[in-house]
Amino acid sequence: IVFTVYTRDVNGFYEELWKADRPTSNDWLLGEVDFSAPYPMEVIFEVAFSSAKGGYLALDDISFSPVFCSNQTATSFSPLQASCTFEDNFCHFYQDYKDGPGWSRIKVKPNAYRPGDHTTGTGFYLLANTKFTSQPGYIGRLYSPTLPENLQYCLRFYYALFGFFKMRDSLAVYIFEENHIVQEKIWSVSEIPQRVWTQAEITFRKPMPCKVVFLSWCRNFWDCGIVALDDISVNLGSCHSADIPPDFPGECTFEKNECAFTLQPRNRHGWHRRRSPTPTSYTGPTGDHTTGVGHYMYIEASNMIYGQKAQLISRLLRKTFGNQCLIFFYHMYGRGTGLLNVYLKMHGSKKEILIWRRRGEQSISWLRGLIEYTCDKSHQIIFEAIRGISIRSDIAIDDISFQRGPCKEMEETILQSSGYSADFNEIEY
């Protein structure tokens, strides 16, 4: 008789924990095994009979404890150690300068040729201009901290490419074992829209400690562009595990539908859910904020007249216990851009309280909006877009979420000319 205990994760990966492969007595014996479950998994008990004579095995009193059976303690690892938004520094990432300084941490004013960062639209991100590295092949490497062995990881990051004739393999992700002897490529870029922040997801697991390496590479000096990288995150478990229901009141990325938002009006003059750039040139985003190739909500200014309104209304939300932070991303690009307002409307009242406003063109990039508020009654949040003076007045929003407690950061604003006369700012709709 062979009696084995395994774990199995959501992707069907088995790991043997314990085995008894020799005859035992007829008495009850205690079996104990230490293991960690940092992400959802099943425990499987398997018995195999090694001869035609068969036999029997009895099992009883299965229990799990949050502490190890032995005196050992679990190896502590926080995925935050391998995650970085690059707002303050390189975090725990580093470069091998023998190849030259391939990656630079920069902050730029967004324009048609260079976007703002993915985190806020006004912050820092990494840029690899590998034309100017010292090694043949134009290589820039960025190393993560060491990741413990025998854990399943979900790696997510955002990237954007500029100026490549052939984009394939211009950015790749490798796994280096700790001694750097074994290297495995687990992802590389293919043909995608340029100048758009695009999300990549990779699930991997290694039996040895390893590092994640981002490698930017150019074939030659003349076919070489710029690679941007931002918002690297590492989580335990599969990238494709079943979604955990969000805490109240939740979030919406508009990838599947409008979530619990109501459109007012629900016609060509209101909010629309869209994937890909807006139809009118020189206005609107080139992709969504969530993945770069997903969905977002926007108003199509060419279907509206000057001063026309469109509202996106949340479901009824419960009262807040203390401060609450509303986070969303908005896009206001175009010389004729109008207004984006956010209102709070208490249940049973017709009054809409203005809690946030932006007027005129803000940026060619997605910007992060932060609103800290409190409300001791059931209420709704209303996003209202108002069409501006021309058809170049598309306004978009994406990735709306609510978090308990005060906003951890302050919103940074970009002061730009709206292209309007001073009289426009005084118009009441």
Q: What is the CATH number of the domain that holds 325?
A: 2.60.120.200
Domain identity same for 204 and 281: no
Question: What are 293's two structure tokens?
Answer: 């190739």
pLDDT confidence band for 396 (50 / 70 / 90): very high
Domain identity same for 286 and 341: yes
Domain identity same for 194 and 111: yes
400 lies in some domain: yes
Domain identity same for 117 and 26: no
Domain identity same for 47 and 189: no
Rounded distance between C-alpha atoms, residue 155 and residue 119, angstroms: 16
Of 53, 74, 95, the position where a domain reaches its end is 74
The SS3 assignment for 286 reads: coil
Give the pairing type, strands 2-9 and 41-48.
Answer: antiparallel
The residue-averaged pLDDT of 342-351 equals 94
Domain identity same for 67 and 154: no
| Spatial contact of 402 and 325, defined as CB atoms under 8 Å apart | yes
The residue-averaged pLDDT of 358-366 equals 95
Domain that holds residue 281: 262-404
For 282-304, the pLDDT digits (tens) are: 999 999 999 999 999 999 999 99
pLDDT recorded at residue 58:
87
Count structural domains, the chain.
Answer: 3
328 lies in some domain: yes
Least confident of 7-16, 203-212, 333-342: 7-16
364 lies in some domain: yes
Out of 128-142, 244-258, 374-388, the most confident range is 374-388
424 lies in some domain: no
Domain identity same for 61 and 171: no
Domain identity same for 268 and 398: yes
| Spatial contact of 363 and 414, defined as CB atoms under 8 Å apart | yes
Query: Does an H or E element contain 428, and which?
Result: none
Give the pairing type, strands 139-143 and 210-217.
Answer: antiparallel
Of 30, 54, 74, the position where a domain reaches its end is 74
Question: What are 63's two structure tokens?
Answer: 């229990």
| Spatial contact of 29 and 23, defined as CB atoms under 8 Å apart | no
Question: What are 355's two structure tokens?
Answer: 């809690």
The residue-averaged pLDDT of 236-255 equals 68
Q: What is the pTM of this model?
A: 0.75
Q: Is the pLDDT of residue 99 over 90?
A: no
